Structure 1
Amino acid sequence: MSRASGIPVPTIKFYLREGLLPAGELTSPNQARYGEAHLRRLHLVRALTDIGGLPLASVGKVVAAVEDREQPVHELLGAAARTVDLALADPVDSDSAVRSRAAAMADELIARRGWKVGTRHRAVEALTAAMASFLAVGHGDYLDHLDEFAAAAERVAAADLDFVARRRRPEELVERVVVGTVLGDAMLAAMRRLAQVDASARRYDPEDPEPLEAPENSPGSSSG
C-alpha cells in the first residue's frame, strides 16, 4: 500500500492507529491484506491534510461522515465543505450599524438569487463580514455589482458540482470537494488577476499590443 500510494509505512500505521483507515484483512497474526478501498481512503486523508490543511480531529469527522452510508449526498458534501475554512482576511472593524446594514444586504442577495442556504451558514457570516468591511472603508459602491458577482459564482458552483459528480464513491466525492475548493479558490484568484490586467489594458491602454495567439494544437486554439 505504501508503494502504491507513495505514503511512508509509518504514516500509514499512524492513520490506522488513529482510526482514519479501516483495518486490513488479517492473513496472519502480524500481517494484513489491503485493497483499493484503503488506497481511496489514503488519498482522501492526504487531500484533507496536505491540501485542505485540516487537523486530524477534523479529518476524523469527515471520515465518520464518509462511513455513514445512510447520509444523503447533499449532507455528505456539506460536511466536507464545512471542514474547509474560508481563506479570508480578517474583516475591518465595523460598528453595529454597518454590520447590520451588511447583514441585511446579504440576506436580500440570498433571497433575490433564490439560494437554498441557511441564514447561519458560515459562508453567510463571511459574506456579511466582507461586505461590512467594504462599507467601513468607504467603498460601499463596490457592492453595487453584487448580482454580477453572484451570477459568476453560480456558474462556478455548477462547474464545481460537475467536477465532483464525475465520481460515485463517497471517499472520492469528498476528496473532490476538498481539492476543488482549496485549489479551485487559488486558481480562480489567479484567473481573476489575469482578467483584471486584461480589462485594464483594454480600457486604459488601447495602444497595448494584442495578446499573443494560442500555440497551435494547444487547449483553446482553433483552426479554420
Structure 2
Amino acid sequence: MRISELSRRSGVPITTIKYYLREGLLPPGRATAPNQAEYDDSHVRRLRLVRALVGVRGLSVGAAKEVLGGVYEREDDPHKVLGLVLGATAEAADAEADKDAELDGARLAEVDALLDALGWRVSDDAAGKAVIARTLQTLGDLGMDYDWHRLLPYAELAGRIAAVDLDGIEDLRDPLEMAERALVLTVLLEPVLLALRRLAQESQSAARRGAGPAQP
C-alpha cells in the first residue's frame, strides 16, 4: 500500500508517519521509486502501537522507540510484550527510579508481603510495587495506621479486574495487536474505573443511610 493508504488505515496523518519514519519508530517501506515506497500490514500494526504509546500512554518519542525495540525483540513472548507496553518491567518504567531510592525498605517489604499473601507472580522491579510502597509511606507520615493488610480487599478486586482485562485479549494471536489493545483499554479505562468507584461510593452511602441521590 502507498503511504496515503497507510495513513487512512492507521488513522495517523501522513506528516506524522514521515516523522516516525525519520525518527526510526517505523521501519522503512519497500522502495518502489526514488521518492516512493510500499507498506504492508506490519506497518499498520506498528503505527497503531506507536500511536498508543505516544498518544495514549503519553511516552516521549525517544521512550516509545526504546519500548518498541524491546517489544520486537520479544515478539514471540506475549507475556513479556504486555509487560513492556504496560510499564510492568524496568525496561518500560517511567522516570521513577530517583523517587524509589528514597523509599523505606520496610514499606517495600510490606508490598512483598501483600503480593505473597495474594499469590501474585510479578517481576522484582515492577513499577507498581514502588507506587504502593510510596503510598503506604505517605499514609504513615500522615500518622494513619494503615498497613498492607488493609489493601487485601482492594487487591482482590484488582485481580478480578485484571482477569476481565486479559479475557478481552485472550483470543488475539498477534502479540503486537494484543499489546496495542491491552495498552489502549488499560489506560483509557483507568479514569472510568475511578469514576465508577466514585459513583458506587455515592450509591452505597445512599443505600446505607436511606437517602436519595446526592444533589449537586
What interval of TM-score do these two structures reach, taking the shorter chain for normalisation?
A: 0.7 to 0.9
Give the aligned partner of residue 39 of structure 1. 44
Give the aligned partner of residue 214 of structure 1. none
Q: Say whether the 8 Å CA contact 1:84–1:178 is kept in structure 2.
A: no
Q: SS state of the match for residue 37, structure 2?
A: strand
Query: What is the correspondence of 1:140-159 to structure 2 with a 5 Å cutoff?
Result: 140-141=145-146, 144-159=149-164
Does residue 208 (structure 1) correspond to residue 212 (structure 2)? The answer is yes
Deviates most, 140-149 or 178-187: 140-149
Q: How far apart are the structure 2 equivalents of 1:202 and 1:86? A: 43
Query: What is the correspondence of 1:42-121 to structure 2 with a 5 Å cutoff?
Result: 42-68=47-73, 71-82=76-87, 83=92, 85=94, 99-121=104-126
Q: CA deviation at 1:34?
A: 1.5
1:57 partner amino acid: G
Q: What are the ranges of 5 or more consecutive residues in structure 1 without an aligned counterpart?
A: 210-224
Q: Say whether the 8 Å CA contact 1:54–1:84 is kept in structure 2.
A: no
Query: What is the correspondence of 1:11-50 to structure 2 with a 5 Å cutoff?
Result: 11-50=16-55
2:119 partner amino acid: G
Distance 1:86 1:14, change over 3 A: closer
Give the aligned partner of residue 3 of structure 2. none
Q: SS state of the match for residue 140, structure 1?
A: coil
Q: CA deviation at 1:188?
A: 0.9
Q: SS state of the match for residue 27, structure 1?
A: strand
Q: How far apart are the structure 2 equivalents of 1:107 and 1:84? A: 19
Distance 1:59 1:141, change over 3 A: closer
Q: How far apart are the structure 1 equivalents of 2:23 and 2:121? A: 36
**CA-atom RMSD in angstroms:** 2.6
Q: SS state of the match for residue 173, structure 2?
A: coil
Q: Say whether the 8 Å CA contact 2:71–2:84 is kept in structure 1.
A: no
TM-score (normalised: structure 2):
0.81
1:199 partner amino acid: Q
Q: Say whether the 8 Å CA contact 1:49–1:59 is kept in structure 2.
A: yes
Q: CA deviation at 1:61?
A: 1.8
Q: CA deviation at 1:71?
A: 4.6
Q: How far apart are the structure 2 equivalents of 1:43 and 1:118? A: 27
Q: How far apart are the structure 2 equivalents of 1:163 and 1:122? A: 23
Give the aligned partner of residue 136 of structure 1. 141
Give the aligned partner of residue 185 of structure 1. 190
Distance 1:191 1:207, change over 3 A: closer
Q: How far apart are the structure 2 equivalents of 1:173 and 1:207? A: 44
Q: How far apart are the structure 1 equivalents of 2:11 and 2:160? A: 36
Q: CA deviation at 1:207?
A: 3.8
CA deviation profile, 1:60-94 (whole Å, cap 9, x unmatched) = 1222123225652211111112236599xx99xx9
Q: Say whether the 8 Å CA contact 1:52–1:84 is kept in structure 2.
A: no
1:154 partner amino acid: G
Return the structure number with greater relative CO, CA threshold 8 A, min gap 6.
1
TM-score (normalised: structure 1):
0.79
Give aligned pairs, total.
201
Give the aligned partner of residue 122 of structure 1. 127
CA deviation profile, 1:8-30 (whole Å, cap 9, x unmatched) = 21111111111211211222222
